[in-house]
Amino acid sequence: MPDFLMAIWADRNTCKPYTGPGRVGHVVRVTDNPHPTVINEFVDGGSFEHADCAPASFQSWLLDRTSTRTTIREIERLAGTTAYGTGWKGIEVAGLHFGYQIHFVPNDPITGFVMNPGGGYVDPPADFPAYLAATQGGCLVLPNVGAPLPKPIPTPPTKPEDDMPKLGQFIAKTTTGGLAYFISDGMHFRHVLNPTDEAGVSATGPWFNGDGQPLRLWNPQPVADIAAFGVPANKETADLLGLTFP
């Protein structure tokens, strides 16, 4: 069956169905998937805590049924979410942006599991009547684009040394016409007193040789393009070469 977004009246503190005084509007996802991706609107990275329940419910559907990957903030932006919530039209617009036809119907959704983003949990079909009793009327129908996508196989974490910048050395002319050694990680470079001076460099970090090998000298001659090695890491280096810092 297709999935649905349903607007209900809820208790502000629990986000459970509630129609009494002090009730607030709330949006949940209804699905036949017993294990939907759970999105907690309070820690989902959105800009509007307790007001981005619709984007959170939509994000849950995107992750389960489609290959679209985006952020809550992007959904909020597309849907026009504010501190007062998100209109159905906003979710329709966000859906069209990603290529999905979403439409409102005045009918009730089909009984299913309820992914409640108000705290992030799933209620079973047995609890669905309570949600239906608190409905604000109608629902959004999310296109039936397929069964839940298989969960991606986690990528093994890279070894710490894989992320370490590999350092190199080069020689450049200074403003006085002399030559000096510099050490670079590809993004920044700084002056060192001699080719083996790693101790003085490491104190300012992140200067280290990730492959555990001696630093390689780029060329025994002065380099022609210093910018190829990054930007100066400190003022002393910049002054030595007549460059600006920062």
pLDDT for 157-206, tens place per residue?
A: 554 444 445 677 889 999 998 999 888 877 889 888 766 554 444 433 34
Q: Record the tokens describing residue 209, joined without a space.
A: 């040789």
pLDDT: is 44 or 116 the higher one? Answer: 116
Give the whole-angstrom CA distance, residue 1 versus residue 218.
63
pLDDT digits (tens, 9 = 90+) for 109-148: 999 999 999 989 999 999 999 999 999 999 999 988 755 5
Q: Where are the domains of the chain?
A: 3-142, 160-241
Predicted TM-score (pTM) of this structure: 0.60
Mean pLDDT estimate for the chain: 84
Q: Is the pLDDT of residue 51 over 90?
A: no
CATH fold for the domain made of 3-142: Cathepsin B; Chain A (3.90.70)
Dihedral sign from CA coordinates of 107, 110, 111, 117: negative
Write the DSSP symbol of residue 186.
S
Give the whole-angstrom CA distance, residue 132 versus residue 136.
9
List Cβ neighbours of 33 (8 Å cut-off, separation of 6 or more): 3, 64, 113, 148
Give the whole-angstrom CA distance, residue 113 versus residue 186.
52
DSSP 49-114: TTT-HHHHHHHHHHHHH-S----HHHHHHHHT-BTTB--HHHHHHHHHHTT---EEESSPPPS-EE
Amino acid at 244: T
Percent of the chain with pLDDT over 70: 83
Q: For residue 209, what pLDDT band results from cuts at 50, 70 and 90?
A: low
